[in-house]
A = this chain, B = another copy of it.
Amino acid sequence: IEAEDRSAVLLLASNLHEADTGDLLEALNAGERAAFVRLLGSEFDYTALTETDEAIRVKLLEDLPNEVIAEALGDLDSDDAVYILEDLDAQDRDEILGGLSYADRAQLKKALDYPEESAGRRMQTEFIAVAPFWTVGQTIDYMREARDLPDSFYEIFVVDPAFRLLGSVHLDKILRAKRHEKVTSIMADRLDSVEATDDQEEVARKFERYNLISSAVVDENGRLVGVLTVDDIVDVIQEEAEEDLRALAGVGDEEISDSVLTIARGRLTWLVVNLATAVLASVVIALFEDTIEAMVALAVLMPIVASMGGNAGTQTMTVAVRGLATQELGARNMMRVLNREVLVSFLNGIALAILIGITAWLWFGSPGLGYVIAGAIIINMVFAGLSGLLIPIALEKLNIDPAIASSVFVTTVTDVVGFFAFLGIAALWFGLPI
C-alpha cells in the first residue's frame, strides 16, 4: 500500500475515527509511518497522534518537517496541540511554536508553562464566555456567528469584565430557556472550577465525585483561562489507576512500544531494591545455620511461613494503597481499619496455622514441628496485617507514593519476621543450637 498510491490510501484512511487512525499508525512499521502521514497530507488528522504510544508519537514527529507539524497544530484544539508538543525536545518544540500564528503560539506557550500533569496542561483554551447581563437570545446568536469555537462543548461560562468566573450554564438549560431570559437566571447553583496549577489526579477525583462533564479552569486570581472536559479526565483516571498497579509490581511507566533496553533498565532498579530485601532475609536465615544443620526439615518448611505472610501482607497493602489513593482511607477511619486488619489477619492466621500445622505434623511425623510452624504463622500473619496497613500510611505521611515503595518494605517485614519467628521458635522448642 505504501507504493505511493495516494488515492488508495486516502480511500482507506479518510473515514476513520482518530482512534482508529492511531491504531493504524501503530500497526505500520516505523519507516512507513512518516510516509503514510506525508501521503495523506492535509487529510491527515493530527489528533490521531494523541491516541498513539508516546514512543511512536515522538519518533514520528522527529521524522516529519517541523513546518508541516506547525501548520497542522494551528488547526487543533489547544489541549491536543499541547499533548503533542509536551514530549518533544525543547529545540523542536520552539521551532514548531515559531511556525504558528502569534495568538496560537502565545496560547500554547502559556499552557506549556503550567507544571506537567496539571489542569493547565490538559485544558482547552477555546471556550465561550458571556457577560452576566446578556440574555439567552444574545448568547445563542453569538454562538451561531462565532468562529474558532471548540469542536464540542457542554457549558458556557459567565464572566465579569475582569474575566473573573461568575458561573456556568449548561447547554440543555439554554435550549430550554426563553430567548429573553438573562443567562444569570439559569446559571447552575454550584460553581465547579479547578485551578490551572491543580494536579490532574486531584481534578479527576473531583470530576468523578461530582459526576462532572466539564469544568472551568481559573488562574490564581479567579480569572477564567480554560475548560477541562471529561474525555480528557477519563484518560487520567485510567492512567492513575494503572499507575498504582504498575508501581506495586515495580514496572514504571513503560509502554508496549518501548525498546528492550529501556524496559530492562526500568525494571532492574526494582529487582535490585528487592535483592537487598532478599539478602536481608538470607542474613536472618544465616543466623540459624546450625539450627538448620541439626534439623533440615526447617529448611523445607521455612519458605511456607514467609510466603503466607507475604501474600497476606500484599492483600492488606493493596487495600490500603487504593484506599489512600481514593481517599476512602483517612484519619477518620484509620483506627477502625487498623483494628479490622489485625483481626482479619489474626483469624486467617489461626485458620492457616491449623491447616499448615497438621500438614507439617503428618509430613514429618513430628507434632512439635506442627506447633512450631503454627505459632510462627500466626505471628507472621499479624505482622503482615500491621505492616500492610501501617507502611503505606507512614509513606503517605512522608510524602512518598505508597504504591511505589510499600511492597518492598512489607515483604521485608514478612520475610524477616517469618524466618526469624519460625527458626527461633524451633530452636527454643527443640533445644537446637543457634
> Which residues of A are at the interface with B, using a C-beta cutoff of 8 A?
17, 19, 27, 140, 143-144, 149, 152-154, 170-172, 174-178, 190, 207-213, 229-231, 233-235, 237-238, 241-242, 244-246, 248-251, 254, 256, 260-261, 263-264, 267-268, 270-272, 274-275, 277-279, 281-282, 285-286, 289, 292-293, 296-297, 299-304, 306-308, 311-312, 314-315, 317-319, 322-323, 328-329, 332-333, 337, 340, 343-344, 347-348, 351-352, 355-356, 359, 411, 415
Contact = CB atoms under 8 A, between A and B. Distances in A.
Contacts of A207: 234
Given A260-B343, A293-B296, A318 B245 contact: yes
A191 to B, nearest CB: 12
A263 B311 contact: no
A344 B293 contact: no
Contact of A213 (B230, B322, B337, B347): B230
A27 B278 CA distance: 42
> By CB atoms of chain B within 10 A, which of A143, A271, A297, A312 has the most?
A271
22 contacts: A152-B172, A152-B213, A230-B234, A241-B241, A242-B322, A249-B314, A249-B317, A251-B319, A256-B323, A264-B344, A267-B312, A270-B311, A271-B348, A274-B308, A275-B356, A281-B307, A282-B303, A285-B303, A286-B300, A299-B302, A303-B415, A307-B411
A137 to B, nearest CB: 12
Contacts of A281: 303-304, 307
Given A175-B175, A260-B344, 8 more contacts: A143-B175, A246-B322, A264-B347, A267-B312, A274-B311, A285-B300, A293-B296, A299-B302
Given A270-B311, A318-B249, A260 B347 contact: yes
A44 to B, nearest CB: 18
Contacts of A235: 208
Contacts of A279: 304, 359
A278 B296 contact: no
Contacts of A293: 293, 296
A231 B206 CA distance: 12
Given A211-B231, A234-B237, A256-B328, A308 B352 contact: no
Contact of A348 (B19, B176, B264, B329): B264
Contacts of A237: 234, 237-238, 241
A360 to B, nearest CB: 9
A208 B319 contact: no
Given A152-B170, A242-B322, A260-B343, A208 B230 contact: no
Cβ-closest 10 pairs across A and B = A241-B241, A211-B231, A249-B318, A299-B299, A171-B171, A278-B304, A264-B344, A264-B347, A278-B307, A19-B209
A323 to B, nearest CB: 6
Contact of A271 (B261, B270, B311, B322): B311
A340 B55 CA distance: 16
A249 B176 contact: no
A261 B210 CA distance: 33
B308 A271 contact: yes
A329 B256 contact: yes
Given A275-B356, A282-B303, A299-B285, A238 B208 contact: yes
